[in-house]
Amino acid sequence: MIPKTLLNKDLSTLLNACDVFKKGDFEFSGHFKTNAQVLYDDNSIGYQTTLLILKEDGNQLRLRDTITEIASSQNYQIIQIADESKVLNRLVLKETYSNPIPMPNNEIL
């Protein structure tokens, strides 16, 4: 069996090459997927935006926190946190908009 510390270090190295997010001054990396397939309890299938992160990074995040993808400056709200394994958390995200999007006829989206 692989020791948890070694597994955590290996996964940390892999996730550092992935997308970078921040919440305030706290920056963390994770595997970001916009159309992750989700299987619900009633066997229906849906699609969600998810982020796979280390559990130690997940300990600093809470439901309804807003995180920002650094590359695109896009904000996401955390709507679910699930344990993926002993060292990984999966965040289910909802895209949020900080400013209303103006439409050509002065309507707000």
Provide the residue ranges of all domains of the chain, joining segments of one domain with +: 4-96
| Residue 70 · residue 86 · CB < 8 Å | no
Q: Which of 18, 24, 26 is nearest to 50 (CA)?
A: 18
- pTM of the predicted protein model: 0.75
Interval 49-105: pLDDT, tens: 999 999 999 999 999 999 999 999 999 999 999 998 888 999 999 999 766 556 566
- What does CATH list as the number for 4-96? 2.40.10
